[in-house]
Chains A and B, each alone.
Chain A
Amino acid sequence: MRQVKHRNSVSKLLLLGLAFLLTFSTTITYAQADAAKGKELFNSLCAACHKRYKKATGPALYGVTERHSTEWLYKWIKNSSALIASGDAEAIAIYEEYNKTPMNSFPQLSNGDIDNILAYVMEPKPEKPAGAVPVAGAQAGGGSSDSSATNSIVLGLLALVLVVLIGVLFLVNKTLRKFAQANGVELPVKEERKPIWKAFIENQFLLLVSAVFFLLISGYFVYGFLMQVGVDQGYEPVQPIHYSHRIHAGENKIECKYCHSSARVSKHSGIPSLNVCMNCHKSIAEVAEETQAEGLAEYGVDYNKQIQKLYKAVGWDAGKQVYTGKTEPVKWIRIHNLPDFAYFNHSQHVMVAGVQCQKCHGSVEEMEIMYQYSPLTMGWCINCHRETNVNMVGNAYYEKIHEELSKKYGVDKLTAAQMGGLECGKCHY
């Protein structure tokens, strides 16, 4: 009986499933297409100009199949300009609407690929992603408070047990004394002894030693305190735009000197001007959803809003895709401040010596917010100059001096210090 019943349920389920599939296969043709593959293609080919739910350089693509026939889309995507040239009214309308900016042609895409992409772009916008996150946050918060509550309950109980035990011990002691008195047992009387602090004060030697000790300790701490005055290691100010080096240098692996290009030629590494940001952000108006969620959850920052701040500063109208000309330069807060009397040249270190940026600035690619990694003290500079060998290979400038110096010092590799990198006037003039 049992077995039969079971078999029945399985076949029923299969039947139902089949019916379900059949009904839906007629309504959505793209279900055969692979939205995951489509996403890949979309990100690599289309995302520069198109967004799914928002107008960018090109139109928003959600609902595109409702606006145009699939056949038309195949033609358009493979060669839009040919379509325009053929005098297709739909094509010309779009061409006119978007300031006569032709769409790139993608003849490499097969119809299947295009189906995949269309499947991806036709996925409806997920509901309330923003609302979901705070809930998740609240849950996480609740969870942690739960665990701490249990901890404190346990601790409280333990404390209570301890108090009870002490009370019991005291009572037992008292009872025992009573018994002893009752039985005539004589308890030993405590001798009156000199208090230890008095003895300490009377001992001159001990006093002197401890005074010296005390002074040395306090001297050590005072010195430590004074030495950190003006050293801003770890300085992490709040910037007018929350700029994440983690995302740019870490996740997207943008080379440091792409933005800080003057580090190649100048003493300043330079804060990139906003037109450098717009090289990419012209087409990146929003971050990926996961990134946005991550930002809100872990750093409490709305990355998209930060991009909007950039647009405001540079005067970019994302809707119309034009510069308005109204600019508001960004007042960044400077993190690395060398005193005016110290000369430091980025290009010397980055280009000539080939020092990695991270050597002084730490692993910037992991920093959500930039902070001062190194102490930037003279001792720190000098140590590095003492330890670092100068990279001389293949540089005609160094040939002669290397030959002479290595003969003089009897070494093959020369440190910056041996090259004269410790002389006062090399950095102070």
Chain B
Amino acid sequence: MSSNKKYWKSVEELSDSSMVEALKQNEFSEDIPVEGFLEDKQVLDESSTSRRDFLKYVGFSTAAATLAACEGPVVKSIPYVVQPEQIVPGVANYYATTIADGFDFANVLVKTREGRPIKIESNRLAGANGAANARVHASVLSMYDNTRLKSPQVGGKDTNWASFDKQLADKLRKTSGKIVLLTQTFASPSTKKLIDEFASKYTSVSQVVYDSVSNTEALNAYEQVYGIRGLASYDFEKADTIVGIGADFLGDWQGGGYDAGYAKGRIPQDGIMSRHVQFEANMTLTGANADKRVAVTPSQQKQVLAALYGFVMGYSVNASLPAPIKETVKKAAQQLKAAGSKAVVVTGIQDKDAQVIALAINNKLGSKVYDADRPKLTSQGDAKKVAALVADMNAGRVGALLIAGVNPVYTLPNSKSFVDGLKKVGTTVSFASNNDETATLCEFVATTPHYLESWGDVEINKGIYSLVQPTIRPLFKTRQFQDTLLQLIGSDLTYDAYIKNVWNTSILGGASYNRALHDGVFKSNKIAKVVASAESEEADEEVRETPVFTSSFVTSVRSLTSAKAKGLELTLYTKTSMGSGNQASNPWLQELPDPITRASWDNYLTVSKADADSLGLENENVANGALNGSYATVTVGSVKLENVPVIIQPGQAKGSVGLALGYGRKQGLKEEMQVGLNAYPLYQNFNSVQSVKVDKASGVHEFACVQLQKTLMGRGDIIKETTLEIFNTKDKPAYNPTPMVSLDHEETPVTSPDVDLWDEFDRSVGHHFNLSIDLNACTGCGACVVACHAENNVPVVGKSEVRRSRDMHWLRIDRYYSSEETFEGDNEKKEGFAGLGENLSGFGEMEVASENPQVAFQPVMCQHCNHAPCETVCPVAASSHGRQGQNHMAYNRCVGTRYCANNCPYKVRRFNWFLYNQNDEFDFHMNNDLGRMVVNPDVTVRSRGVMEKCSMCMQMTQKTILDAKRDGRVIEDGEFQTACSNACVSGAIIFGDVNDKSSKVAKSLESDRMYHLLEHVGTKPNVQYQVKVRNTKEA
């Protein structure tokens, strides 16, 4: 009986048992979503592997792996058959060469190991031209880019050079129309001669030089005044007063490379340093470094220039400017006049009138800051000719187009009509190393080598010649543009022989070619003196004698003063990291944060707070701190750029916006690198200033910023600042007080041994390394960050990881804004807080940066504390201290507890959350054999789960010591270097041995400006900072 009894679980079961039955059969109402991790559902269903089988497989494979691990791998070593004399495995060779990619021109030294280039350094022999910026430092990685083309192509198919030459020569011979060479600025005497020879061999050949970022107006102005198509070459070291109007000369303005000289003038010596006033719209590196920065829109910049011209010349110009700005201009003019020949005015306004007037002011002042005899020749492009070419192409007048070193389909603002025109050209040849936007549309692709695989010569400044020599055999079947030209004219010379001929006959004048090749640079003294041309000379004379306008100047000034803004004004600029976009496929550069916004892997519209509010654009920090921003649609005339992410930029002039060029490349590079938006379509008429319409668009953009806080919050002890006046007149405690701590309720300096927790170790024996960072000289250029990447095998982690604050930079350059007008104002405000309420609200206010803040940069790396907090908390003693002052990190000992990072007050330790090499999730250079060739063999490549940090380039100091020991000599000051100090051409980072009392760094330790970061914590760092001094003296 009892067996028949039935229990109900619910009323439903009693009433409708069928439904319950169905539910019973189907425990889960829908399938468990396993596709996400088991990928192919079908395969999964069909497979007969049971759970037991799975466990068996796991067991066996674990056992097999364990057994296999007992047997060591067999490592093979293959020596040379015939070893080249100069190559010794394990010893680095250096070669002098020159980068000239059309945007960056610099004399560099290339460090090679076992025949492969691994690092770029500045060529100090070349002076100012030898200053390698971040992009030049990173250029070595661009050679090991595995998206490079590996052989020449015809019609999209790989071919060999013999057949390529035959087909191309046939086609060219049959060409009826014009043959046009559309090239970058080569600035190369040999290439010029070669192109002339090519022109004489074929009929109707012409060359159009095209700079993707144009300097046409400045070139025209210079040509008008001095009769040479070039750009003035400035030496800001000689300048006592600098007035910049929209000229980002610490960035890429007119070729850049001016930061070294500028920085030298910024270090106060004998109570003197330069005074720098900057008028600009975007917040640039230059404005950030200026003593006084005035935010003005591009149209106001013209007014400023006109007004300045008037004040310098001594008559009134009717410039429509707000009174305070006018006052500033007036004071600047007074200071310019006071400095006389040591004053200079520079402007980045893309307008011939403006450029001529700037030259006229300098002429009037008698400025000796630039050398008129040796103008820069690195920008030769002519916007008009490029426009004419596009018209010709569309009219079918071009028979063959040879494109070398430029990517017009990507960089031309009227790219569409260029593409249309390209279809009407009979023969199209692209000389490219990647299958970029232009190469994919060309019939012939003549694959070119990287500059480190090439020969060449460059005349960067007039009469200053440089040589390019290969530092490795070509990795692929590539051939230089010039070698292809030589083939086409039927010469049997190679380009290197050709260069040698040209140099021996017309450049060297009897000097040794090998010597020039060794130095990388040759300065010819046989150059003609250049004087301002008769016409402008006359004009200047008149101006000088009587304050009367010549007709041209009248119109010039009048055209400047008539400038008016129509709506928002957009200033297109190039970023420190990306430049014109030549190296978009370089992961080091993509990950290098912008010095101002600190955002990596992106370009964006910079908008002032006021404009953002009125347009409804927003920035917010999400839960993990990462920055999100609104999207905007930017319209210039008929061109519309959609979904442009917006960053609200303190210091952006109201009524102006900024956007970086060089991003948004889509062809010939990995998907990871296809970031940002192409802003070139907005670069109408090659003018970097455009009036735009900005509208809010829907959606939220996720930025990857490496720094999230903006202001210094009144913590004046992090970046100590003072004015030149106080620095000159007062003693150290007034501007650089030693922090006091309480000992038995008495104020005691933190440097006193009585307050120390630890016994002091005797550091007077042997070397004791210190790194000194001069905040006055640091411009924030970021060259050191890339140099550190290259030297120390720092991995690239990608955008999403950077957004999670997992960037691996060993060296970061912190950027701080002031919340009040000045940092001093912040300090005062903070000191003045009374009571809790004011504290809370006050600090809240201080989180917001000022509309036009002061900016300070601070490079921060491991501080190598003598009393290091990280060392005491490591449970496995992976972090320990060396006698020479370096804090050692033994990766093989680290178990990844991350206690050290948590206990580090400077937050300079980096954790390897993942394996960043040979991991498909991080498909950057370390994930392919080619990219890994850049790895420095002296430094360990770290694995997952270990902590890493700056080692103060232990491998470099050890090498210097070893070399001295082997030679049996004493080490001199300057021999010890780190990657960052070596890369820093501005002299902001100095490295050396403080036990060598004659060394620079020992002297800087004694300097009144010296302080340590967070000194009150008592960590006793081995990195010194030098107080930032601003020259605030107005007129």
Binding site for B on A (CB under 8 A): 229-230, 232, 235, 237, 262, 265-268, 270-276, 313-315, 327, 329-334, 337, 339-343, 345, 347-348, 351-352, 394-401, 404-405, 408, 419-420, 423-426, 428-429
Contact = CB atoms under 8 A, between A and B. Distances in A.
A267 B74 CA distance: 21
A341 B941 CA distance: 8
A331 B76 contact: yes
Interface string B870-907: 00000000101011101011111100000000000000
Contact of A396 (B888, B938, B969): B969
Given A275-B81, A332-B79, A339-B892, A352 B966 contact: yes
Contacts of B758: none
Contacts of A345: 962
A423 B940 contact: no
Given A396-B968, A426-B882, A428-B890, A340 B75 contact: no
Interface string B751-769: 0000000000010111000
A313 B939 CA distance: 33
Contacts of B765: 401, 404-405, 408
A337 B72 contact: yes
A257 to B, nearest CB: 13
Given A268-B90, A270-B89, A425 B951 contact: yes
A262 B91 contact: yes
A167 B709 CA distance: 100
B951 A429 contact: yes
B955 A274 contact: no
B962 A229 contact: no
Contacts of B74: 237, 333
Contacts of A331: 76-78
Contact of A425 (B70, B76, B882): B882
A266 B114 CA distance: 12
29 contacts: A232-B72, A262-B88, A265-B88, A267-B90, A268-B90, A270-B79, A270-B89, A271-B79, A272-B79, A273-B79, A273-B80, A273-B83, A313-B81, A315-B81, A329-B81, A331-B77, A333-B76, A334-B75, A340-B941, A343-B938, A348-B966, A396-B970, A397-B968, A397-B970, A423-B880, A425-B890, A425-B951, A428-B892, A429-B955
Nearest to A266: B90
B866 to A, nearest CB: 14
Given A332-B76, A348-B962, A408-B765, 20 more contacts: A237-B74, A265-B88, A272-B79, A273-B79, A273-B81, A275-B83, A333-B74, A333-B76, A333-B77, A337-B72, A341-B940, A351-B966, A352-B962, A404-B766, A423-B883, A424-B880, A425-B954, A426-B958, A428-B892, A429-B939
A18 B757 CA distance: 107
A332 B78 contact: yes
Contacts of B1: none
Interface in B963-1013: 964-971
Interface in B922-954: 938-941, 951, 954
B82 interface: yes
B91 A265 contact: yes
- The B interface, classified by DSSP as helix, strand, loop or mixed, is loop
Nearest to B75: A334
A400 B997 CA distance: 13
Nearest to B938: A343
B201 to A, nearest CB: 36
Contacts of A275: 80-83
Nearest to A331: B76
**A contact patch SS:** loop
A327 B81 contact: yes
Nearest to A353: B965
A273 B82 contact: yes
B942 to A, nearest CB: 9
A256 B90 CA distance: 18
Tell which of B78, B81, B883, B958 has the most Cβ of chain A within 10 Å. Answer: B81
A420 B884 contact: yes
A119 to B, nearest CB: 41
A35 B49 CA distance: 83
Nearest to A340: B940
Contacts of B886: 425
A263 B967 CA distance: 15
B78 A329 contact: yes
Interface string B732-765: 0000000000000000000000000000001011
Given A262-B91, A332-B76, A347-B966, A341 B81 contact: no
Contacts of A404: 764-766
Contact of B76 (A313, A334, A397): A334
A314 B80 CA distance: 10
A271 B77 contact: yes
A419 B958 CA distance: 13
Contact of B766 (A270, A343, A401, A426): A401
A14 B938 CA distance: 82
